[in-house]
Chains A and B, each alone.
Chain A
Amino acid sequence: MNFAFFTLLPLFLFFIAIAGIALNRKNILTIIMSIELILLAVNFNFLISSVYLDDRLGQLIPIFVLTVAAAESSIGLAILISYYRNRGTINLEFINQLKG
């Protein structure tokens, strides 16, 4: 089993998450979830590399990423809530005030 085989899974996860962000037109919660998925995929990748390269640094960074992801999702959800309070909807289709 080589390195490429193991990195296929995080790669697929990453692309699924990106597809979730880009193709999603309705729900903002799905986007936040997709961002979590991206971070997860990145974590996976770090860990696999860490095992493959036999290096501890690869396990250190995911711990940081986990905290950052927690903070990010909490802040993101807070923004979401305050947005919902203001607009009364979190539908993505109606977030189009910032036109060029």
Chain B
Amino acid sequence: MYLCIIVFPLLSFLASSLFGRFLGVYVQCILSTVSIFLSFIFSLVAFYEVALCGCTCHIYLCPWFNGELLMTNWAFYFDSVTVVMLVVVCSVSSLVHLYSIEYMNIDPHQGRFMGYLSLFTFFMLILVCADNFVLMFLGWEGIGLASFLLIGFWYTRIQAGKSAIKAMLINRVGDLGLVLGICAIFLTFKSLDYAVVFGLSPCAIGQTFSFLIFEKIDRLTFITLFLFIGVLGKSAQLGLHTWLPDAMEGPTPVSALIHAATLVTAGVVLIIRCSYLFEHAPTTLCIVTVIGSLTAFFASTVGLVQNDLKRVIAYSTCSQLGYMVFVCGLSHYSIGLFHLANHAFFKALLFLGAGSIIHGLCDEQDLRKMGGLIRNFPITNVVILIGSVALTGLPFFTGFYSKDVILEIAFSSYNKFGLFSFILGCLAASCTAFYSWRLFYLTFMNIPNSYKVYQQQAHEPSLIMLTPLFILCIASVTIGYVGKEMFAGLGTPFFQSSIFNFFKPINLDSEFLNPFIKNLPLFLTLLGMGLSYILIYCSNSTNIKFLEWVLNIKLSKIGRQLYKFLSKKWHFDQLLNEMIGHRVMTFGYRVSFQVLDKGIIEKYGSLGSSSNLNRLSENAINLHSGFLFHYIFTILFSLLSLVLLFFFSVWMKINLIKCFLLLLCYFLLISHTR
């Protein structure tokens, strides 16, 4: 049964890619949806058995490759973290499958699309179920590949192709770090199995080795730092985040799958999985905290001014990932996983809701060309409302249970990094509220800005698309409450030994915080909502005086500078392109192509030597001018110089061979000068 969870998506992928022509699109859709749904049912059972009944499961299939010390197996390990991820991935994935039956039904390649979705799910399941780092890496690369295929699904669009390449390449940067980390793990622990590595992790404390120019760096710090570089790429943390918004070029269900449940959460899952290693490396934890909180803040500020419906949600994903990462950095991995699970549901809800708008509005994605859609999309309106409320973390919705806990933990961790992340997290919370409501107002409430034809044709999707939305709505409202005691409860035995941290009872500190601090994120969220109400909704009110005031704020010099700065994404794309991308490309052309390949190698290789020989032989031929006196001169002069050289060598006692070499040089000189 446990293997069925993993195998079903693979089978559906194989069926739709190998026999797609025979099956037909309709059968492919049904087949893939049903198979993923079956693996969802199985993963629910697995959740019951493993997480609730507390019996972890380890399945050994066969050896993969065995060297001297390296033993890598096809083996799967199901513990609490795995089954939580299984449920999240399978549920969101099956809903996305169901959703894309309707959403993609006019696409000529729908069968291929469903196959890719299944492939993606399969690799994600491999990643979360793996029992060693190599198998995990297989899944890691596999979801990279599947994301490449899915983002570039409409391969005729150049922008989609470029985005797919960008996603793939930036992920590769992180993957390099991950590979280095895995190599360092093998060097240190002589094994790649999770059980061995995590069991031995305390033994590596204080061990050092040298790497490149660095002498005596701490092994665990090095390992976790490089694992974290992998996380940077996959989970779109600050620095390697630029691929995430561009990945919006894929179809909307893809965005829902990638950004809600699967691709970007892989990095966070890796941190949670490697909690045994991270916990012993406090330096890395500090870095993780700082980067995570910076990401949360950065992405939410950029999200404020995005004009693309999907991009707003993409940046909110980036920001929520920042929350997850920094709470992991504060070594509350279970809370990170909790937020991950919650986030998967409401983010999938938001994306699929956005997809329903895009689908009903003739593929219009620009927020500025929407407005007043509340009459056309009453159900989607409610869906997005619930999603936004859950995202902003208003009380009693899903986001509240994880997000507020994260912020409380950040405040109560008693170090400067915790405080830093608390401040940035609170600011990010208010920004999140602002852009969520901005999205809501611009889409549904404001005066209509789209074409009349679009508005007249706008319609709610059919029941196939609405069913996932309903289910996700229910999940977004209830999951947080249901899961709270499991994930964040006091002394919960839910995670048994799958997550390790040094100080269990710290939750107490965050539980009994000052009420003001506890309510601060809520106040800031309400502040963001109010600002959004004033700046976005009221700016088209009938009160001319008020309208002018808002306009003045928006058009003031500071306002415009701020807008420019934010809408350019803090100039990160520009920075990366100009500082790294262009430099590397220029280097590739100038140095490795022009100087090395076409330069040195050809000059001293075949082409250069052949042309040089030709030139030399031409020179030698030119010596034969046909004039008798030239020949005579050459013969006599050479003879004389030979004799002279002979005597010279006898006199100076030089080796005769050297003299002949000298003579050779002399002839070469002659042949060049002619």
Q: List A residues at the B interface (Cβ < 8 Å).
A: 18, 21-25, 28, 31, 92-93, 95-100
Complex alpha-carbon distance, A60 and B634, angstroms: 32
Option from A22, A98, A99, A100 in Cβ contact (under 8 Å) with B629: A22
B623 engages A100 (CB within 8 Å)? yes
Q: What is the minimal beta-carbon distance from A76 to any residue of chain B, in angstroms? A: 13
Complex alpha-carbon distance, A2 and B620, angstroms: 45
CB neighbours (8 Å) of B629 from chain A are 21-25, 92
Residue interface mask B603-620, A partner, CB < 8 A = 1: 000000000000000001
Q: List B residues at the A interface (Cβ < 8 Å).
A: 620-629, 632-633, 636-637
CB neighbours (8 Å) of A24 from chain B are 629
Can you list 11 A-B contacts (CB < 8 A)?
Answer: A21-B629, A22-B629, A22-B632, A22-B637, A23-B629, A92-B627, A95-B626, A98-B626, A99-B624, A99-B625, A100-B626
CB neighbours (8 Å) of A100 from chain B are 620-626
With both beta carbons as reference points, the residue of chain A lying nearest to B622 in the complex is identified as: A100
Option from B621, B625, B632 in Cβ contact (under 8 Å) with A21: B632
Majority DSSP secondary structure for residues of B touching A: helix
Complex alpha-carbon distance, A77 and B187, angstroms: 92
CB neighbours (8 Å) of A99 from chain B are 624-626
* Most chain A CB within a 10 A radius of its CB, from B621, B625, B628, B632: B628
Asked if A97 meets B626 with Cβ closer than 8 Å, knowing A18-B636, A22-B633, A22-B636, the reply is: yes
Complex alpha-carbon distance, A94 and B625, angstroms: 12
Complex alpha-carbon distance, A45 and B636, angstroms: 19
CB neighbours (8 Å) of B626 from chain A are 95-100
Q: What is the minimal beta-carbon distance from A23 to any residue of chain B, in angstroms? A: 8
Q: What is the minimal beta-carbon distance from A36 to any residue of chain B, in angstroms? A: 15
With both beta carbons as reference points, the residue of chain B lying nearest to A100 in the complex is identified as: B624
Complex alpha-carbon distance, A97 and B631, angstroms: 13
What are the 4 tightest A-B residue pairs by CB atom distance, in nearest-first order? A100-B624, A96-B626, A99-B626, A22-B633
Complex alpha-carbon distance, A22 and B625, angstroms: 15
Q: What is the minimal beta-carbon distance from A99 to any residue of chain B, in angstroms? A: 4
Complex alpha-carbon distance, A66 and B632, angstroms: 23
Complex alpha-carbon distance, A31 and B624, angstroms: 20
CB neighbours (8 Å) of B637 from chain A are 22
Complex alpha-carbon distance, A98 and B623, angstroms: 12
Complex alpha-carbon distance, A89 and B629, angstroms: 17
Complex alpha-carbon distance, A5 and B114, angstroms: 110
CB neighbours (8 Å) of B627 from chain A are 92-93, 95-96
Complex alpha-carbon distance, A70 and B627, angstroms: 26
Complex alpha-carbon distance, A99 and B621, angstroms: 8
Known: A24-B629, A92-B629, A99-B626. 4 other contacts (CB 8 A): A22-B633, A25-B629, A93-B627, A98-B624
Complex alpha-carbon distance, A25 and B629, angstroms: 6
Complex alpha-carbon distance, A96 and B630, angstroms: 10
Q: What is the minimal beta-carbon distance from A31 to any residue of chain B, in angstroms? A: 8
Complex alpha-carbon distance, A95 and B624, angstroms: 13
Complex alpha-carbon distance, A10 and B479, angstroms: 121
Complex alpha-carbon distance, A48 and B626, angstroms: 39
Option from A25, A31, A96 in Cβ contact (under 8 Å) with B625: A96
Q: What is the minimal beta-carbon distance from A20 to any residue of chain B, in angstroms? A: 10
Q: What is the minimal beta-carbon distance from B644 to any residue of chain A, in angstroms? A: 13
Complex alpha-carbon distance, A31 and B632, angstroms: 10
Complex alpha-carbon distance, A18 and B637, angstroms: 10
Complex alpha-carbon distance, A98 and B625, angstroms: 8
Complex alpha-carbon distance, A17 and B632, angstroms: 12
CB neighbours (8 Å) of A28 from chain B are 628
Complex alpha-carbon distance, A98 and B626, angstroms: 5
CB neighbours (8 Å) of A98 from chain B are 624, 626
B636 engages A95 (CB within 8 Å)? no
With both beta carbons as reference points, the residue of chain B lying nearest to A15 in the complex is identified as: B640
With both beta carbons as reference points, the residue of chain B lying nearest to A21 in the complex is identified as: B632
Q: What is the minimal beta-carbon distance from B639 to any residue of chain A, in angstroms? A: 10
